[in-house]
């Protein structure tokens, strides 16, 4: 029997990343996934929508409202809660009453098209008040709580069904420990923000490997309410080379009863979120067992249907291996780790001592090459285009390693320098970003050094 969550428990997707927002057709496709996986919420807050953040004071022109109104209607028909977010924190003057009137005007326009749930975000902003604001409030938390409370009261006067969510300036424990927002930020917020207003929290880190029950219980006490988890586990806007198709993990099942909701801020590329969304839905419906690996493999079997090609079919095991190389921020999947262990193992030895592991790797490299070719033949071109850069990068690195191993395995070549005619210096791994990355090296403990 699936877990029973309260009717007002928020579960679903945050479109809240930096980068190109999703297309209207992708958002409508998303609704089908939300319904299929038992999720109930869509949150609109892409950082690069100018009227979400930079131009938050400007209402939408009538022609701009057409797609939004249509999508809200579609959400209502599918029983999906639509949350609209505004992020005024970059330049709001908290002590200027006109600013609050602007927020009300923005919400009034959106109430008219059926939006009833809103979020006000103060993340990724300066954490110091202006001189005029300092004359009225002792801290950013107090100023932000005042604006949110006033907005919430106004929303309540217009619809009893309203709900308001709030993103704090320090939205993870690391930010709090660094002093972001000033002393006692969370405690002030918890004391002064109206109890019905939900507060977002990402966990110990911005991208949290684990979110424990003890951690959330501590946050509950400081905020005086359970938070809504803004989960960045599958977010990739901070590193466009990567994407994450591993399972929802690192969160105990008991967490569901300690929070007011769990919303995933996933990969920027919409087609890459099949497994993150499916496994989040399965996690929320699980009973007393959550087998992350088994859920991942089941999700891969379902996702495999999207990988139809114009030529030879893509083998499911090969797709799993590819997914294991793009698993989660802090870990590879089993096959990704196995590949690294294999290569690192024999490369740590002198080429004259290499054994059967070399033949195993070269055989695998041929299998990878076949897989990469078949991926270029996907009929689902949008999916292929979302994957193509990652396919190419992994292909180039495996091919380079294979050429290196083949060269070093030849008699007399063990101690000779290797160059690849297919990976020319300053083109392969070229550019200033690679040069900058090579200045500071990551150590095994995660620290950086020259």
Active site residues: 124
3-state secondary structure 305-340: HHCCECCCCCCHHHHHHHHHCCCECCECCHHHHHHH
Cβ count within 10 A of residue 147? 20
Residues 6+ apart with CB under 8 A from 319: 300, 303, 304, 307
289 is written with which tokens?
């067992």
Taking the CB of residue 291, how many other CB atoms lie within 10 A of it?
12
Which residues, at least 6 apart from 230, have a Cβ–Cβ distance to it below 8 Å?
14, 16, 167, 171, 200, 201, 202, 263, 265
What is the distance of C-alpha 199 from the center of its chain?
Answer: 18
CA distances from 74 to 27, 69, 71, 81 (A): 10, 9, 5, 10
């Amino acid at each position: 029997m699936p877990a029973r969550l309260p009717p007002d428990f928020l579960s679903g997707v945050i479109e809240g990343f930096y980068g190109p927002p999703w297309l209207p057709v992708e958002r409508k496709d998303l609704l089908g996934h939300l319904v299929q996986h038992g999720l109930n919420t869509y949150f609109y807050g892409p950082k690069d929508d100018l009227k979400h953040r930079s131009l938050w004071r400007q209402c939408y022109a009538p022609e701009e409202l057409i797609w939004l109104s249509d999508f809200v209607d579609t959400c209502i028909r599918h029983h999906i809660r639509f949350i609209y977010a505004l992020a005024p924190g970059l330049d709001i003057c908290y002590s200027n009453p006109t600013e609050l009137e602007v927020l009300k005007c923005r919400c009034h326009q959106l109430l008219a098209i059926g939006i009833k749930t809103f979020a006000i975000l103060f993340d990724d902003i300066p954490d110091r008040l202006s001189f005029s604001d300092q004359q009225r409030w002792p801290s950013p938390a107090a100023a932000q709580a005042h604006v949110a409370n006033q907005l919430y009261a106004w929303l309540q006067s217009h619809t009893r069904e309203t709900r308001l969510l709030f993103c704090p300036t320090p939205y993870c424990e690391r930010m709090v420990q660094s002093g972001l927002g000033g002393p006692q930020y969370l405690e002030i917020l918890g004391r002064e923000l109206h109890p019905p207003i939900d507060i977002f929290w990402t966990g110990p880190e911005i991208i949290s490997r684990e979110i424990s029950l003890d951690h959330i219980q501590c946050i509950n006490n400081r905020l005086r309410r359970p938070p809504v988890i803004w989960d960045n586990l599958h977010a990739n806007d901070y590193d466009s080379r990567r994407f994450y198709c591993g399972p929802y993990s690192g969160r105990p099942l008991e967490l569901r009863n300690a929070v007011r909701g769990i919303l995933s801020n996933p990969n920027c590329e919409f087609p890459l979120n099949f497994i993150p969304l499916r496994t989040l839905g399965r996690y929320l419906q699980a009973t007393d067992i959550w087998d992350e690996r088994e859920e991942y493999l089941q999700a891969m079997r379902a996702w495999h249907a999207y990988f139809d090609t114009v030529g030879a079919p893509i083998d499911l095991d090969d797709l799993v291996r590819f997914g294991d190389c793009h698993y989660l921020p802090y870990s590879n999947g089993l096959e990704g780790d196995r590949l690294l262990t294999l290569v690192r193992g024999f490369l740590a030895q002198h080429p004259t001592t290499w054994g059967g592991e070399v033949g195993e790797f070269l055989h695998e490299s041929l299998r990878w090459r076949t897989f990469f070719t078949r991926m270029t033949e996907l009929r689902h071109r949008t999916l292929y285009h979302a994957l193509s850069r990652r396919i190419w990068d992994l292909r180039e690195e495996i091919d380079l390693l294979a050429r290196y191993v083949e060269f070093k395995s030849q008699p007399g070549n063990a101690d000779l320098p290797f160059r690849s005619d297919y990976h020319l210096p300053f083109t392969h791994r070229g550019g200033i970003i690679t040069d900058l990355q090579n200045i500071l090296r990551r150590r095994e403990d995660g620290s950086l050094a020259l």
